[in-house]
Structure 1
């Protein structure tokens, strides 16, 4: 009995110590669990049980207990730091604070969905059955099967390979299919950047112009351009660390207006002197995007009218913060097929069917290596310019997201490859994955 009591006391002591050490993090842990649960259920159409076993089953997040109601999800850690997320039609789910009024009306984006009779990818009908003589389909399917092997380690959920604008293979785990929307995480950054490419092509914006931030006009930050922001070389302070209380976790799980977090940071270097990856910068770009329009409704409509619905990515939804700003750093959802459409738009150098959305020079711009990034980063896209992946062509570039969400674009091979899952390197080996797929196409 004494040993039992001692064991129980020791267990409680450990719990108390863990809570003491992590108490400041509980707000963020609970916030992540609540937001993830709400979005995965209401947008991704997953069950609450599945989200608890998968999306929320890692690191400290698994300490949280999240439940779902009609249009909300709440979470807490051992009953502490209760957080709530609310689903808003057209805007997705948002973590709310005590000031949020669920009964207050809000603006939502209009959608511009057109019916057509064209096959995928340029329409909504079934893709053509196309056989390429230079594709070894047995080898290709084996490569994709390998990416799903070791499911507890690689955690792949979906893979799609498109060659010359045709799907040549795709695979989904149980519970996922071609209609399942998947969170792209930081692939969302590449969506936001593309909106700037569209505005520049339309003659409404010059990325080399100074960022229109009033707070910066009285110090050296006035020299920061939109180009510097797109390349993550503004010289502004920012800590992108998801394992602790940092700039990015405070922004995503505490801020009502996420466009302001980066604005408030001091300059630690002159523009172009350093490269510093920053989700705050991407949300700042979302805020700057809003200044290009006369009304909030025009801002809300623009991504769908000029990009998303224009190329038929009708499943895509970009979530917004409490103030209605698109969270361009992290929260775009779409089916695997629609993520592939985004890659194909770039593979076709900005042209979709007979319509051009952005100039070919924009592709050159976003794939030009940014100084101090060691050839790994361009303009809100990741690069292979310095051969980070040695068995993959150096012209490959990609939209990358947390836990291994990827849209790979390989122009020299006429390929777009989408992979989604819950694990990234080293558990999921990207070089091997791409190498095996490439070896199947002569």
Structure 2
């Protein structure tokens, strides 16, 4: 009996210790579950049951109990640490905290969605079949089919391939169509960077000018430029660890204003001395962007007016934080075809149906390897300069997001390839996927 009591005492102590150290994580579990549920149901019109069984069926997150009411979702873990996400038209869904004031109004974007009779990509009219003599369509279909094989592991949802500005193949998992918006996660970073390319082309900024945020003039941070931020080489401290209570999880699931966290970090190295991938840096850039406009409405309108609606990405929506800042690190949604349009804008070096949105040299800028990134990163785009994908041309560059969201741009093959899903390397073999697609292009 004494032994049993001792065992129960030890187990009780271990349980108390486990709860003590993991209780703060419940904030992030509930936060992720409620935010992902609200956004997916509100933006894509998918069912809560589908989100629970698929999108939220990941370790820890699946512990959360989630309730929805159409324009919001609440989640808790065993009744503890309830979090809520609230949705608004044009702004998506926002995870709110105890500081949330429902009377605060964030302006919705004033959008002008194109209406024309043009074929993809310059319009939404279905294109006539275009047969390229250098494309092996049987091989292409095999490549598409393979991307969906063993899909309990690969978890592919959509794939689209364009060649010479034409869709030559696309495939969708049951429940997803060409009209289903997909969360790009960190592909949003590449969209955000493009806004800086547009402003530079318009002569409204110099990437090499110091940023000079408040208090940065007192130390080495006064040397940080937009270029350093776009290349993730500012030298600022940042912990991008999604498995723990870290800088990035605090920012995404606790902060009302996500643009501040990175700017408040100390410098641990001089600019260009280290490369450190940071979602905080992308949201800092979103905050810097906001300061370039006189009104909040102008800031909210800018991505849509200058880029998104300009190239007909009518489905795209970038969600905001509680203070109305675009979450440029993570929260852009768009259909697979609209993500492909984004890639085609880059493939065409910033020219969209005769209109130049950013200078052709911007493509060289974002696809140039950043010092200390081992050839894997440029300016808010990922690269294959070091041959990470050995069977793929080295000129490939891409917008990458969590769980294998990808927009691949391969200039030497005149290709843009989009893949979305819920798994990435090694469960989804990117090199093999692209190798299969490339085998179809002679």
TM-score range, shorter chain: over 0.9
Distance (Å, rounded) in 1 between the aligned partners of 2:57 and 2:16: 22
Q: Residue by residue, what CA displacement relative to the aligned partner does 1:286-324 show, whole Å, maximum 9, x if unpaired?
A: 001111111111110000000000000000000000000
1:57 aligns with 2:57: yes
Unaligned runs of 5+ in 1: 1-6
What RMSD, in angstroms, separates the aligned Cα atoms of the two structures? Answer: 1.8
Runs of 4+ in 1 over 4 A off after TM superposition: 7-18
TM-score (norm 1): 0.96
Q: Deviations over 1:166-218 (max 9, x none)?
A: 00000000110000000000000000000000000000011111114122111
Is 1:29 matched up with 2:33?
no
What is residue 255 of structure 1 aligned with on the other side? 255
Tell me the distance in 1 between the aligned counterparts of 2:49 and 2:11: 27
Gaps of 5+ in 2: 1-6
* 2:408 is equivalent to residue 408 of structure 1: yes
Determine the C-alpha separation between the residues in 1 that align with 2:39 and 2:218: 40
Question: Alignment partner of 1:74: what SS?
Answer: strand
Cα deviation per residue 1:216-253 (whole Å; 9 max; x = unaligned)?
11111000000000000000000000001000000000
SS in 2 for 1:346: helix
Bigger Cα displacement from structure 2, 370-379 vs 55-64 = 55-64
Decide whether the 8 Å contact of 1:75 with 1:83 is kept in 2. Answer: yes
Alignment match, 2:245: 245
Q: Secondary structure at the match of 1:263?
A: helix
| Pair 1:150-2:140 in alignment | no
**How many positions carry a matched residue from both structures?**
438
Return the offset for 1:361.
0.5
**Aligned counterpart, 1:4:** none
Q: Which residues of 2 match residues 133-282 of structure 1 at below 5 A?
A: 133-282=133-282
1:22 deviation in Å?
A: 1.6
1:358 CA drift (Å) = 0.4
Between 415-424 and 56-65, report the one with greater CA deviation.
56-65
Secondary structure of residue in 2 paired with 1:284:
helix
Q: Under a length normalisation based on structure 2, what TM-score does the superposition of the two structures give?
A: 0.96
1:287 counterpart residue number: 287
CA contact (8 A) 2:42 2:70 kept: no
Query: Which aligned pairs between 1:224-373 and structure 2 lie closer than 5 A?
Result: 224-373=224-373
Task: Quote the offset at 1:160 in angstroms.
Answer: 0.1
C-alpha displacement of 1:419? 0.1
Q: Are the counterparts in 1 of residues 41 and 70 from structure 2 also a CA contact under 8 Å?
A: no
- The aligned counterpart of 2:84 is 84
Is the Cα–Cα contact under 8 Å of residues 258 and 280 in structure 1 kept in the other structure?
yes
1:212–1:288 CA contact under 8 A, matched in 2: no
